[in-house]
Chain A
Amino acid sequence: GAVVSQHPSWVICKSGTSVKIECRSLDFQATTMFWYRQFPKQSLMLMATSNEGSKATYEQGVEKDKFLINHASLTLSTLTVTSAHPEDSSFYICSAYSGRSTDTQYFGPGTRLTVL
């Protein structure tokens, strides 16, 4: 149980385009999901908390108009990187609470974004 998937696993795009990343909880319902970003050799940085049916809560310094989050159902949250630039190239990882526990986060496999 507690399986989280992400799609795509990697994406390469041109500067100025938008990219959508999906995060799904496969065997449980997730009212809360989290989006992280990780640059090489650095730790995970929380970008935002995604709550089903309401607006996401963004961490300080994260541009909400650039990183659009939609959590329209109990099993799906999406992150759209709008007008991507090379500095947005990173490893994006989502996580969710398992449903049985409101305390333990399980991570998706991550999406590696490269902006040319």
Chain B
Amino acid sequence: QKEVEQNSGPLSVPEGAIASLNCTYSDRGSQSFFWYRQYSGKSPELIMSIYSNGDKEDGRFTAQLNKASQYVSLLIRDSQPSDSATYLCAVNFGNEKLTFGTGTRLTIIP
């Protein structure tokens, strides 16, 4: 069974601080990893994809991948109230489908 695990939260972070979201996955051979943001009542929106070990930065977002530890994370710098949402980690286990974690609910406190 290929699984993606996330802490469901809620995770509360003060405005302006760094929010750190974590995700682990079960298949060491996985190659593609994604972070989506989902606002309440809306569909997921792609934030970042990452394929190689290390960090990938895009604006205030940084994705970190460690394939040896089967771990992918998302850092949000200078957190804003508009970042309050559920963040979904998704992994492509090599069969063109995405497997999603249950999501972490993030609340940015003004």
A residues apposed to B, CB below 8 Å: 32, 34, 42-44, 46, 49, 91, 93, 102-110, 112
Contacts and interface: CB of A to CB of B under 8 A. Distances in A.
Contact of A43 (B46, B97, B102): B102
B42 A109 contact: yes
A42 B103 CA distance: 8
A82 to B, nearest CB: 23
Interface string B70-89: 00000000000000000010
Interface of B is mostly: strand
A105 B43 contact: no
Contacts of A44: 44, 88, 100
A103 B49 contact: yes
B96 interface: yes
Contacts of B103: 43
A103 B45 contact: no
A106 B32 CA distance: 15
Interface of B: 32, 34, 36, 41-46, 49, 88, 92, 96-103
A105 B98 contact: yes
Contact of A103 (B32, B100, B102): B32
A43 B43 CA distance: 11
A32 B98 CA distance: 13
B43 to A, nearest CB: 4
A93 B45 CA distance: 12
8 contacts: A43-B100, A44-B44, A103-B49, A103-B92, A105-B34, A107-B36, A107-B46, A108-B43
3 tightest A-B CB contacts, nearest first = A110-B43, A107-B43, A43-B102
A22 B46 CA distance: 21
A104 B46 contact: yes
Nearest to B102: A43
Contacts of B46: 104-107
Contact of B97 (A42, A46, A104, A107): A46
Nearest to A46: B97
Given A42-B102, A43-B102, 19 more contacts: A32-B96, A34-B97, A34-B98, A43-B101, A43-B103, A44-B100, A46-B99, A49-B97, A91-B41, A93-B43, A102-B96, A103-B49, A104-B34, A104-B49, A105-B46, A105-B98, A106-B46, A109-B42, A112-B41
